[in-house]
Structure 1
Amino acid sequence: MHAPDNFNHASETPMAGRHSDTATFQGQIGRIRDIVEHAIEQPRGTTSLVERLADRTSSLHASISLPADSAPLLLADFVVRYIEHVPDFVEAIYEMAADSELLPQVQPLLTIATDYFLKPPDLITEHSPLESLLDEAYLAHRLLEEINDRFILRCGQPLVPMDTTRANLIAHELIGEPFANELDQAVIFSAELLLSEYSFSGAVFDKFFARHQQSGWSVEISRWPCLASDRAIFLNFDRERL
């Protein structure tokens, strides 16, 4: 796993620099969405995924309770939404950070999340396209979960109002052990690298967390619903016990 380039442009006051960075970032998000769309549209893409999930259904944790006849299709739909959610939340975090003057500090986190798709780490093995994207999406979702957990321990507030814990537990089950555990270790390494090499503190962060401690996250959630929780991607089980 590599460290991202330092995107700290605090010394660049011209708006041209900001617009250039935004255009580059939007281009990366567009590429990720194109990759996802192409994988979904492949003739064997979803079929192969459904077949693999059918093999996995019988060995899933008992808390994942689904009708046997439709479980593979429901899980495949969950996987697609779980993958599609990554560019949505990364884009939302980018805009939220830019609005709060946190972008130079938060950009390295977003760079790693996008690189999981654009420059997949070596441990991502060859699967069908959607299965590989599930691995990459899991890395991105778990990275944000790990960073949020560490911010909560450090200052009592998450970096973003987003909790994908249950969705990540399901994805972990679908990926299967021991490989899902290897992905978790890669995420922990990236999180530790970020927090040791980049500054996630200072007056701007203090102002950001103080504002949300006082007023909550209603403005951000209303503007970017994908930040609210994992409800947008969570599978609607008959019995939700995760």
Structure 2
Amino acid sequence: MTPETISQIIAQAREQDAHTDQYREQLAGALDGLHALIRIDGDAPLDALYHFVREYIEMAPGLIECVRVCADNAGVGNLFAPFIRTATGYFSSPSVLLARFDGLEGLLIKAYQCHRLMEEMYENNRSFRNSNLMEPEATQANLLVHHLIGEPFANELDQSILITVRQIAGSPDYYDLNLTPFVEQASDEAWQWMREYWLNLLTRNGIQFHFSFRSSL
């Protein structure tokens, strides 16, 4: 399955949900239970949350293709092939645990797996962590989706992703693996659109995270 095929599946699910409003109704319940640190501005918070979910899902095939292009251009395509196969596999060969989820709800879970996989790959390599390729807004978006999926299932997904990353990395040496060629390539235009997407995904939907720290005085 290619990113283009995944995009077509997403478009079909989006169109179907537009006729039934099934997932929007589910989000209405989630909206009432949002964590206190998450705020949605504007007069139509349900619409904003629904648009966020759609954009988050739609970004997944773009992420896969962006990684592929950057890796190939950097001459390290073989190193990232397992990531691309795994991320694509979330859509083409989903776990049996996802059998009961369909439509946008199922796609949100698969997109979450894809985005969290990239986040963990980033966190577990020195070259990546020193590169600032991923923005804090990406982590915040993942946190929001984690909340929308709900616990304990979202925690189970996170645990499975950690196991997958260890399998993909292959050895403890992955942390020190020099991925500078990829980082340098990702600093080019192929990656910039994705950074802009992450930077603006929350704000253009009126979603804010408010972290407060108690004074120690």
Query: SS at the partner of 2:125?
Result: helix
User: Contact 2:3 / 2:61 at 8 angstroms: preserved in 1?
Assistant: yes
Inter-partner Cα distance in structure 1 for 2:86 and 2:48: 30
Q: CA deviation at 1:65?
A: 1.0
Q: Which residue of 2 aligns with 1:55?
A: 29
User: Contact 2:91 / 2:110 at 8 angstroms: preserved in 1?
Assistant: yes
Distance change in 2, residues 1:151/1:91 (3 Å): same
> How large is the Cα RMSD of the aligned pairs?
2.9
User: Contact 2:42 / 2:206 at 8 angstroms: preserved in 1?
Assistant: no
Distance change in 2, residues 1:172/1:206 (3 Å): closer
User: TM-score scaled to structure 1, two decimals?
Assistant: 0.75
Q: CA deviation at 1:187?
A: 0.7
Moved more, 227-236 or 171-180: 227-236
Inter-partner Cα distance in structure 1 for 2:81 and 2:162: 18
Q: Which residue of 2 aligns with 1:90?
A: 64
Per residue, is there more helix in 1 or in 2? 2
User: Contact 1:97 / 1:106 at 8 angstroms: preserved in 2?
Assistant: yes
Q: CA deviation at 1:208?
A: 1.6
Q: Which residue of 2 aligns with 1:234?
A: 202
Q: CA deviation at 1:95?
A: 0.5
Q: Which amino acid aligns with 1:113?
A: A
- 1:219 aligned onto 2:193: no
Inter-partner Cα distance in structure 2 for 1:75 and 1:155: 30
Identity of counterpart residues, as a percentage? 30
Structure 2, unpaired ranges of 5+: 212-217
Distance change in 2, residues 1:207/1:171 (3 Å): closer
Q: Which residue of 2 aligns with 1:20?
A: none
Q: Which residue of 2 aligns with 1:112?
A: 86
Runs of 4+ in 1 over 6 A off after TM superposition: none
Distance change in 2, residues 1:86/1:46 (3 Å): farther
Count of aligned residue pairs for this structure pair = 208
Inter-partner Cα distance in structure 1 for 2:110 and 2:31: 21
User: TM-score scaled to structure 2, two decimals?
Assistant: 0.83
**Mapping of residues 1-242 of structure 1, within 5 Å:** 28-43=2-17, 47-67=21-41, 70-152=44-126, 156-157=129-130, 161-163=133-135, 164-196=138-170, 200=174, 205=178, 208=181, 212=184, 218-220=187-189, 224-228=192-196, 230-235=198-203, 236-237=205-206, 239-241=208-210
Q: Which amino acid aligns with 2:105?
A: E
- CA-to-partner distance for each residue in 1:185-211, whole Å, 9 max, x for gaps? 1111111111126985899x45527x7
Query: SS at the partner of 2:124?
Result: helix
